[in-house]
Amino acid sequence: MLSGVAPEALEFAFSALGAGTVAEGAALVFETEPARFDCGSCGELDHGRLEFVCPRCGGPLRLLHASRDLLLCSVTPSSS
């Protein structure tokens, strides 16, 4: 995920701001999509690694797709 948003930080803020409200105790659910790369030398496809070096030949990896979106998939209320 390359959105620049740390899910842990968002969960902390949601918890702090939701205290004493109907959102207190609710859980946030995140789904992440890994970045996809290919090697400029051998064409190897690589998913989710951020080393930018091909694991097969050592050539440079090129970014094919990276979602910069942060989607909140659901908010689940607490059972209490």
- Mean pLDDT of successive 10-residue stretches along the chain, which has 80 residues: 74 91 84 81 79 87 75 70
Beta bridge partners of 22: none
- Tell me how far apart the alpha carbons of residues 49 and 53 are, in angstroms, rounded to a whole number: 9
Return contacts of 7-16, CB within 8 angstroms, 24+ apart.
7/32, 10/70
- Tell me how far apart the alpha carbons of residues 80 and 75 are, in angstroms, rounded to a whole number: 15
pTM of the model: 0.53
